[in-house]
Structure 1
Amino acid sequence: MPSRPVRTARAARTVAVAALLLAAAIACGDGRGDGRTAAVAPQNPAWDRVGTLSVRSPQGPRACTASVVQSPRRNLLVTAAHCVENHRIGLLDGLVFTPGYRNGYSPYGSWPVESITVDPRWSLDADPEYDVAFVTVGSVGGRQVEEAVGGNPLGTDQGFGLAVSVTGYPNEGDEPITCSGVTASQSPTQERFDCAGYTDGTSGSPWLTTSGRVIGVIGGYQEGGETPGTSYSITFDERVADLFQQASA
């Protein structure tokens, strides 16, 4: 596996201005994906499980995309590790999750991030083989986030060549985008998805199978991809299953 590039990622570039903000940037290039380009996701309860990760408020600087996964406590999100822990800064503070965000409207409110679980090998040296994170959020109005919008079951050891849809929030837009395609092997432990349009802010976007299982998130190799037309994810296998169990405990 090539070493981690110095400048990569689909996470938003942010700076510290009276708060801790995430730093990461994309090096844009020509898209790939057999001519496919992501389009605005139609309004559908399934897309409301996907939302923005931003600083302090829905209108604050955006870090990435995250989505709700089914968990015993009904309060768990999945995203990319580089969205929530920067190797130079550490774990990020003040993040909020806003599911179903569109055009300035937050139909379910914003859910404060309470804890972040990443693999120690990511924390140590940002190993792209462990670029995934699980995030717990606090309750809002006495409800957990999964009670409000539902959650996608985690899928591990599913293999390659699966039909998926990938949905996320590019920073230049105020609505989620989505595209469907088939996963391919980038390496035995990394996979790829080809469709244009996945720019800053789409790191952490869930890869959902036709059965609704999340089997990846934009991240991993090149922190998700150096061009907006090819996206990557670590393969969801025992690494992710173990991390999920830790976060759910």
Structure 2
Amino acid sequence: MRALKLLVVAVLAVGVVHDATAEIVRSPGGKIIGFRVRDASPPDYANARPFPTPRADAPSAPQADLIRRGADVKFPGKPSFVEGGEGDGERTPERLPVNRALQELEAPPPPELGSSDKPYTTSLVRPADQDWHRVAGKIFFVQNGESFVCSGSLVKPGVVITAAHCVADYGKNVFYRDWEFVPAYQNGDAPYGRWTTQMVLAPNAYLDGTDPCSQRGVVCRNDVAVLILKAKSGKYPGRQTGWFGWGTNGFGYNRNSQVQLTQLGYPVALNKGEMQIRTDAQGSTDPTRVDNTVFGSLQTGGSSGGPNLINFNNSVKRARGTSAGKQGNRNLVIGVTSWVGPDQSKEMGSSLFTDDNVSSLVNDACNRFPKACN
């Protein structure tokens, strides 16, 4: 896979260049590259709808074919990772209105797989405010006056990773607004509070439509973005919840470009999106889909931007002489939920994390707002 050096564009508004609440940020060449909003309106929590997850027009190849092709995948650099951090668990609870208008569906019985024949296990997380599940959360935002939900997770005390399609319209330089992140959201409970966003960063190639995609605007190489949160009394939520690390360039993948992953998110088709949902599956890198990772999943709209993790949750105590194996670093995000396959295929996909997308975004966020990362 060819490494793509990305420029970063920072945004935090939708076509509001003259918004009195926004401070315009320009590049040295004079181009608008961002907005820092001093004030934002809260989303409509009770009526927020799932933001549509981009849908692929055809299922991916069978698992056996992906395994064979995986040996030919060339990652763009040496596998690497950045460690996360633990929080103190202190709670600052708030209560949000619950969306009661959505229909709750029955969960399917196991074993779980669809027409794509990729096995997975999807389960309800209860409670979501325990252990490392609390690092993930629900994102509320506004597009054209309507409120929507996506998912995301902390990768620094005040920096959230999510999907680019949850912050901007592909190829149009059109951005949404008023993002709020609620870690460990559960049925209206916000045990660690709700956090507004002061800036958003996304790859310029995704924003201007030059990002390589096997299906334009749907299956793309760099569908990833970060939210930089506003501090409260000088503190960020990661100090309470902890934050994930991340892995790039195939960290955690085997020689056939496979990875065992855990997907967290808030799909509205499951438990009305009011509870965190977990999926465990085997992911395979698909060279015909710009090296996106493909995996089986029951999750749908609302799960976009949720973390795909390796070595998730608490570690175990090993007897003397028992090795942890290779690349056993825990709680690393290696992708965010980006697209869903055709109906009944029960598969999803994510852009591969590289130094040029996720690391570039987080580093830029930390350079702009060092206190959000320290």
Normalised to the residue count of structure 1, the TM-score between the two structures is 0.79
In structure 2, do the counterparts of structure 1 residues 31 and 107 end up closer, same or farther at CA, with 3 Å as the change threshold? farther
- C-alpha displacement at 1:114, in angstroms? 1.1
Which residue of 1 is the match for residue 247 of structure 2?
A: 155
Which residue of 1 is the match for residue 353 of structure 2?
A: 236
- C-alpha displacement at 1:153, in angstroms? 0.5
| Partner Cα distance (2:124, 2:115) in 1 | 17
What is the aligned counterpart of 2:364 among 240, 246, 249? 246
In structure 2, do the counterparts of structure 1 residues 49 and 33 end up closer, same or farther at CA, with 3 Å as the change threshold? farther
What is the aligned counterpart of 1:45 among 127, 131, 136? 131
Which residue of 2 is the match for residue 178 of structure 1?
A: 278
- C-alpha displacement at 1:205, in angstroms? 1.1
Partner-residue secondary structure (3-state), 2:120: coil
Across the aligned residues of Structure 1 and Structure 2, the Cα RMSD in angstroms comes to 2.8
- C-alpha displacement at 1:19, in angstroms? 9.0
Which residue of 1 is the match for residue 336 of structure 2?
A: 217
| Partner Cα distance (1:126, 1:24) in 2 | 22
Q: Does 1:96 align with 2:188?
A: no
Q: Is the contact made by 1:78 and 1:132 (CA closer than 8 Å) also made in structure 2?
A: yes
Deviations 1:150-172 (A, max 9, x none): 10011112133222110100123
| Partner Cα distance (2:360, 2:301) in 1 | 29
| Partner Cα distance (2:190, 2:162) in 1 | 20
- C-alpha displacement at 1:36, in angstroms? 3.1
| Partner Cα distance (2:51, 2:261) in 1 | 29
Q: Does 1:143 align with 2:235?
A: yes
The percentage of counterpart residues that share the same residue type is: 22
Gaps of 5+ in 1: 1-17
Q: Does 1:191 align with 2:293?
A: yes
In structure 2, do the counterparts of structure 1 residues 89 and 238 end up closer, same or farther at CA, with 3 Å as the change threshold? closer
Deviations 1:61-84 (A, max 9, x none): 3331010003xxx21010000001
| Partner Cα distance (2:282, 2:164) in 1 | 23
Partner-residue secondary structure (3-state), 1:123: helix
Partner-residue secondary structure (3-state), 1:61: strand
Give the length in aligned residue pairs: 223
Q: Is the contact made by 1:23 and 1:86 (CA closer than 8 Å) also made in structure 2?
A: no
In structure 2, do the counterparts of structure 1 residues 150 and 84 end up closer, same or farther at CA, with 3 Å as the change threshold? same
| Partner Cα distance (1:101, 1:23) in 2 | 17
Q: Does 1:169 align with 2:266?
A: yes
- C-alpha displacement at 1:23, in angstroms? 6.1
Q: Is the contact made by 1:205 and 1:217 (CA closer than 8 Å) also made in structure 2?
A: yes
What amino acid maps onto 1:179 in structure 2? T
Q: Is the contact made by 1:52 and 1:169 (CA closer than 8 Å) also made in structure 2?
A: yes
Gaps of 5+ in 2: 1-40, 60-113, 212-219, 312-329, 368-374
| Partner Cα distance (1:122, 1:204) in 2 | 15
Normalised to the residue count of structure 2, the TM-score between the two structures is 0.54
What amino acid maps onto 2:148 in structure 1? R
Q: Is the contact made by 2:51 and 2:301 (CA closer than 8 Å) also made in structure 1?
A: no
In structure 2, do the counterparts of structure 1 residues 23 and 52 end up closer, same or farther at CA, with 3 Å as the change threshold? closer
- C-alpha displacement at 1:135, in angstroms? 1.0
Q: Is the contact made by 1:26 and 1:226 (CA closer than 8 Å) also made in structure 2?
A: no
| Partner Cα distance (1:126, 1:95) in 2 | 25
Partner-residue secondary structure (3-state), 1:239: helix
